[in-house]
Amino acid sequence: MLYIIFHKKKLNTRSEFDNEARRQKSGSHGHAFYLIQKEMRSKDWSDFKTFQAYIPKLKEYREKSDYSDEMIKQEDGEDAVSKADVIINILNRNF
C-alpha cells in the first residue's frame, strides 16, 4: 500500500507521510489504510466495503502468525491468501 501512496498517487514523501501519521496518532499501516480508503470510497463503494472488511481480518491472521504460538489452520491460511488476492485486485482496479 505504501507503493501506491508514494509511486502511483505520489501523495507524500516518506517523511511527510510519517509526520502526518504521527499527527493523526496512527501507525504507518493505519495511516496508509486511511489514505487509500479515503480515495477508494469516492471511486467504488463495493470495493471500499470489501477492503474495509478484509483488511482487519488479514491483520488478525498476520498477528496470529507472527506473535502467537498457535498452529495456523490450513483453512485460515487459505482464507488469508484468498482475501489477500481480493485486496490486490481491488488495489489494481482502483489505483
Average pLDDT over every residue of 59-76: 92
Q: How many CB atoms lie within 10 A of CB 95?
A: 16
Average pLDDT over every residue of 57-64: 94
Summarize pLDDT for 31-56 with one digit per residue, the tens: 888 889 988 999 999 999 999 999 99
Assign 58 a pLDDT band (cuts: 50, 70, 90).
very high
pTM > 0.85: yes or no = no
Residue spans of the domains in the chain: they are 2-94
C-alpha distances in Å from residue 45, one per residue of 37, 56, 59: 10, 18, 22
